[in-house]
Amino acid sequence: MTFASMLAAINSGRDDPTTLAELAELALDEGRESAALAVILPAAQRFSDPRLWQWSGLLQRGLDEHEQALESFAEAARLSPSDVSIAHGHARVAMEAGLDAVDLYERACSLAPRNGALIIGLAAARAAIGKGDIGVAGLEAAVESSPMWLAGHEQLAQLLATLGRANEATVSLERAIVKFPNAVPLWEALLHVQLRRGSYASLKAIVERAEATNVSSPEFAIYKGIHAAEFDKEIYPSALFDGAPATADEPLGKWRIRHLLRVGAVDAVLPFIDRELRRDQAADMWAYASTAWRLAGDPRSEWLDGDPRIVSVANITQSLPPLEEVASTLRSLHVARGEYLDQSVRGGTQTDGPLFSRIDPIIRKLRKAIVAAVEGHVAQLPPPDPNHPMLRHRRDRLVRFSGSWSVRLRSGGRHSNHVHPQGWISSALYVALPPRAPDEQSDSGWLTLGEPDDLLGVDLPPWRKIEPKAGQLVLFPSWMWHGTVPFSEGERLTVAFDVAPPR
């Protein structure tokens, strides 16, 4: 049943709590939160039903209205204080709102002490208030008592990285493997963490260690293929093209393209790209296609990223809170000391959690200004094209964010060239910039668009460079390669976000 048909049924008299809950679930799936709230919130008040208050909170959360969501979850928790899912939702919304959520997570954990999602949430809540080392200790104790808890190992690795302890990221997994050397999932998790870190050189050695202990897994062939993709000099190395089983064909598709680009086999890569695009429309696949088509002089390059309207540059200072206040607010959020395992930041830190969900008045004004700017950008895009990754999406939906954060780069900091797999439109809003040193190059700190991942070694310059200016917002397709030229001294403070593909 669709949201519209369910709403019609409710309007005809089926307004019992069970049916209303089904309506709320459909609304979240279809992006109809506002319409559902008009029905669910009054019903929650009328029935005094904790589940409907919980659904109200989830709908408000879906709209990034976390202040209202907190009120709804507080009422749900008052009516049903022993409900674990309500307690968890209350804690999660509080943390996303930028509040100290440790007490709420501790209370939720008391209701379900072995709930992995709650243990991870508690660690994140502690890190959010600058107590990351305590969060690490809690996760370390949890994986020590449950060595096969893979999600715990992976979250511990990420938290250690953000605390500047990336060299310890795999310690807990290595300890678990010593205890359970034949546990295939532990070996697979170790490989996955190293892949997220970009530690491609370690993959082959880890597989060989596992196989030396008579451990086997279909995934090992994938990691051998990835290693070959990054280091083998042959055009068609066996581990990547011939030696992998049929089950590895799809996972290795992207890596075959990366490898062929890396070794300069441009003509050979084109049919692989055509094949992968028929089954994989992911952001990074379009980035590889852009690179290959530019190198080959393929006219599809112009179709994909040649229209200048898919990128916009606008100074939105007049719509923002005072930049000094924005900068001060953002600096207070940079409690991390290291870089994420799988992000582009080099020489800086990135805030955790959805920035635009915070209830701080400065952030709310910032979000409002950005939504207006995104709406303006979408309105001027070229005509719809059902085959184009940027232009195929509908444009009559509410602006939603699949991620929002701040980046603070230190002296020498930069972003490596990358794409954003969860977004439709990505961004850079410049809040504070260092003055250019006398001996710096003229494009120091500039944003680059279209320059491939450095590890590919492809001699292809960016098709556009954009000079950063305070208060300036740059919007571009999420699948487009982007990075920055390093700067020498000072601090660069930005806000970034991904606009979610419209539903």
Structural domains for the chain: 310-499 (2.60.120.620)
Tell me which of 478 and 245 has the higher pLDDT: 478
Confidence of residue 345 (pLDDT cuts 50, 70, 90): low
Residue-wise pLDDT for 270-282, tens only, equals 999 999 999 888 8
* pTM of the shown model: 0.93
Give the pLDDT score at 15: 81
Range with the poorest average pLDDT among 15-19, 167-171, 221-225: 15-19
* Closest of 401, 405, 381 to residue 393, by C-alpha: 381
Q: How far apart are CA 244 and CA 83, in angstroms?
A: 47
For position 84, what pLDDT does the model report? Answer: 98
Residue 179 has pLDDT above 90, yes or no: yes
Cα dist from 193 to 199, 221, 243, whole Å:
9, 17, 24
> What is the pLDDT confidence band of residue 436, given thresholds at 50, 70 and 90?
confident
Instruction: In whole angstroms, give the CA distance from residue 441 to residue 190.
Output: 41
Question: What is the structure's pLDDT at 12?
Answer: 82
Cβ–Cβ < 8 Å for 126, 132? yes
Binned at pLDDT 50, 70 and 90, residue 24 comes out as very high
Q: Where are the alpha helices (DSSP H) in 197-299?
A: 203-212, 218-231, 238-241, 253-262, 266-279, 283-296
- Give pLDDT, residue 344: 66
The whole-number pLDDT of residue 285 equals 94
As a whole number, mean pLDDT of residues 39-61 equals 97
Is 500 in contact with 421 (CB distance < 8 Å)? no
- At residue 210, φ and ψ (nearest 5 deg) are -65, -45
Q: Edge to edge, what strands does the sheet with 401-415 contain? A: 312-315, 472-477, 425-432, 492-499, 401-415, 345-350
pLDDT at 60 over 90: yes
Better-scored residue on pLDDT, 394 or 349? 394
Token reading at 109: 């954990």
Mean pLDDT of 456-478: 95
**So what's the pLDDT on residue 470?**
96
Number of other residues whose CB lies within 10 A of the CB of residue 445: 22
Tens of pLDDT, residues 97-126? 999 999 999 999 999 999 999 999 999 999
Fill in the amino acid letter for 501. P
Q: What does pLDDT average to over the chain? A: 93
Half-sphere CA count of 307, side-chain side, radius 13 A: 15
Nearest-Å Rg of the Cα atoms of the chain is 24
Residue 437 identity (one-letter amino acid): A
pLDDT of residue 301: 97
Q: Is the pLDDT of residue 256 over 90?
A: yes
Q: What is the pLDDT of residue 441?
A: 82
Band (426; pLDDT cuts 50, 70, 90): very high
pLDDT value at residue 22: 92
- Give the pLDDT band (50/70/90) at residue 343: low
The answer to which of 198-212, 402-416, 418-432 has the lowest mean pLDDT is 402-416
Q: Which residues of 294-313 are buried (b: 16+ CB within 10 A; e: fewer)?
A: bbeebebbeebbeeeebbbe
